[in-house]
């Protein structure tokens, strides 16, 4: 088998890249280890930056998002019983779209099926070959047989634990990592959201977030020690703790119910450089991980895809230099998003080694957002997404 671009990983970034390229007349093959049902069963974030929503529309998969998604003009930051609203449209003229990652993935699958794109699920033992030549290829095992695909380029969209990043020699990679000393316990419930916009809460007992998927499906999180297990938390215990961390003015509005899904996610920041090695290009979690506090994970993957799509289209249009700057362009935006996610995580969470000084610094940061239009503008510009 041969294809112009071989995409490793059938999550949203791999599907989006395939969708954009096929619409531009560039052939792809997508290889995915898991089944389609497994991919669609993943529970992930749902805040889409302005640029991500635009890219989905460009890919021809924005209709359901625009019909069923929830545009948000701002968010709330709570501390000391105060609710500070950052108005995105007033501060920077943009919105975000709340639309679940599972729904984005479903829309991409439907669009890929309609155009007859090639997806191969259930692959094992994927190996990338001859990346520094102009004839790279991929081998894999499926149903007990060995297969080979030749291509012009390989896009590694296979996440943090995938084979793509590991295919770059260790001595040629620079990796940067910060592990946070806590996790997020998240609950999905079929209940109406607390507020019409997201609420981020800084509380002496720890961080909390009130989010949503739609009018009847809510997603809530609380900060917990890494030593905790999901089994340690009954639904009643979770709701009691969440209510305690919210300002009194909104805690009474909380509607509780049985959890549909409950999990604990550790928080980390991670970047691997470069994001290109010969004919291999890394996208999304294969190259970087951000704490979920700034809602940047899927959005960074989308901007990577946007840069790579532009470069590949230009390459096949005759521009021999089009792909040379992919890694530099992507990493500049990655590090800005890393800074924002780190700053919001630091501002909103309680760290085990923080004392009175650090807590007063958090208060000062939040007070600055409450009192300074310039601070709110900077926050809004970063939250709704820097240009790409």
Q: Sheet with 74-79: list strands edge to edge.
A: 82-87, 74-79, 199-201, 208-214, 217-224, 174-189, 259-273, 288-289
Q: Which residues contact 246 (CB under 8 A, 6 or more apart)?
A: 78, 194, 199, 201, 203, 208, 210, 254
**Tell me, what's the pLDDT at 40?**
87
d(CA 295, CA 14): 19
């230009």: which residue's tokens?
Answer: 314
Q: Which residues contact 38 (CB under 8 A, 6 or more apart)?
A: none
**Tell me, what's the pLDDT at 83?**
95
Superfamily classification of domain 180-267+351-384: D-Amino Acid Oxidase, subunit A, domain 2 (3.30.9.10)
d(CA 92, CA 200): 20
- Is 291 labeled as catalytic in the residue annotation? no
**Tell me, what's the pLDDT at 311?**
97
Element of type H or E holding 66: helix 63-68
- Catalytic, out of 76, 99, 180, 200: 200
- Catalytic, out of 50, 70, 72, 349: 72
* Residue 157 · residue 126 · CB < 8 Å: no
Segment 88-136, tens digit of pLDDT: 999 999 999 999 899 999 999 999 999 999 999 999 999 999 999 999 9
- Is 140 labeled as catalytic in the residue annotation? no
- Is 383 labeled as catalytic in the residue annotation? yes
- Catalytic, out of 296, 307, 326, 349: 296
Rounded alpha-carbon distances, angstroms, from residue 359 to 204, 339, 355, 386: 9, 20, 6, 29
The mean predicted confidence, pLDDT, of the chain is 96
The alpha carbon of residue 38 and the mean position of all alpha carbons in its chain are separated, in whole angstroms, by: 18
d(CA 188, CA 316): 44
- Interval 47-61 mean pLDDT: 97
Rounded alpha-carbon distances, angstroms, from residue 102 to 12, 37, 294: 9, 11, 19
- Is 262 labeled as catalytic in the residue annotation? no
**Tell me, what's the pLDDT at 379?**
98
**Does 2-73+96-177+268-345 carry CATH code 1.50.10.10?**
no
**Tell me, what's the pLDDT at 43?**
67
**Tell me, what's the pLDDT at 74?**
97
CA angle, 76 as apex, 70 and 82 as ends, to 5°? 155
Evaluate if residue 44 carries a pLDDT over 80: no
pLDDT over 70, % of the chain: 99
Segment 74-89, tens digit of pLDDT: 999 999 999 999 999 9
Per the rule left: phi > 0, alpha: psi between -120 and 50, beta: everything else, 122 is left
d(CA 382, CA 92): 10
Going by C-alpha positions, the residue among 24, 21, 34 that lies closest to residue 11 is: 34
Evaluate if residue 264 carries a pLDDT over 80: yes
- Is 200 labeled as catalytic in the residue annotation? yes
Strand, helix or coil for residue 279: coil
Domain parsing of the chain, residue ranges: 2-73+96-177+268-345, 180-267+351-384
d(CA 212, CA 298): 16
d(CA 61, CA 176): 34
Q: How big is the chain, counted in residues?
A: 388
Evaluate if residue 42 carries a pLDDT over 80: no
- Cα maximum dimension of the chain: 64
d(CA 306, CA 55): 7
- Catalytic, out of 50, 99, 292, 326: 292
Segment 202-236, tens digit of pLDDT: 999 999 999 998 889 899 999 999 999 999 999 99
- Interval 236-256 mean pLDDT: 96
Segment 285-329, tens digit of pLDDT: 999 999 999 899 999 999 999 999 999 999 999 998 889 999 999
Q: In this structure, what token pair is assigned to residue 29?
A: 């093959």
Strand, helix or coil for residue 158: coil
* Residue 52 · residue 13 · CB < 8 Å: no
């Amino acid at each position: 088998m041969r294809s112009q671009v071989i995409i490793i990983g059938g999550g949203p970034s791999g599907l989006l890249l395939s969708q954009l390229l096929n619409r531009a007349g560039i052939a792809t093959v997508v290889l995915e280890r898991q089944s389609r049902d497994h991919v669609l069963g993943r529970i992930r974030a749902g805040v889409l930056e302005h640029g991500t929503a635009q890219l989905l529309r460009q890919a021809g998969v924005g209709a359901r998002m625009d019909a069923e998604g929830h545009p948000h003009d701002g968010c709330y930051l709570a501390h000391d019983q105060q609710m500070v609203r950052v108005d995105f449209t007033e501060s920077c003229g943009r919105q975000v779209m709340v639309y679940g990652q599972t729904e984005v993935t479903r829309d991409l699958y439907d669009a890929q099926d309609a155009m007859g794109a090639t997806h191969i699920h259930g692959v094992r033992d994927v190996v990338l070959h001859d990346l520094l030549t102009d004839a790279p290829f991929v081998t894999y095992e499926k149903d007990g047989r060995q297969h080979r695909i030749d291509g012009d380029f390989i896009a590694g969209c296979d996440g943090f634990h995938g084979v793509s990043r590991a295919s770059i020699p260790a001595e040629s990679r620079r990796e940067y990592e910060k592990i946070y000393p806590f996790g997020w316990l998240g609950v999905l419930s079929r209940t109406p959201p607390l507020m019409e916009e997201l609420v981020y809460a800084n509380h002496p007992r720890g961080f909390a977030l009130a989010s949503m998927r739609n009018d009847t499906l809510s997603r809530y999180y609380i900060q917990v020690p890494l030593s905790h297990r999901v089994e340690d938390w009954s639904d009643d215990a979770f709701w009691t703790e969440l209510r305690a961390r919210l300002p009194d003015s909104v805690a009474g509005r909380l509607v509780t119910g049985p959890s549909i899904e409950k999990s604990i996610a550790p928080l980390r920041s991670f970047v691997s450089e470069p994001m290109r090695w010969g004919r291999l290009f890394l996208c999304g979690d294969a190259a970087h991980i951000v704490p979920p506090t700034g809602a940047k994970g899927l959005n960074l993957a989308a901007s990577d895809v946007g840069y790579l799509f532009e470069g590949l289209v230009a390459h096949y249009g005759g521009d021999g230099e089009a792909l040379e700057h992919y890694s530099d362009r992507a990493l500049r935006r990655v590090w800005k998003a890393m800074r924002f996610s780190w700053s919001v995580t630091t501002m909103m969470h309680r760290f085990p080694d923080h004392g009175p000084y650090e807590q007063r610094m958090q208060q000062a940061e939040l007070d600055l957002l409450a009192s300074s239009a310039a601070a709110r503008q900077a926050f809004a510009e970063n939250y709704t997404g820097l240009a790409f």
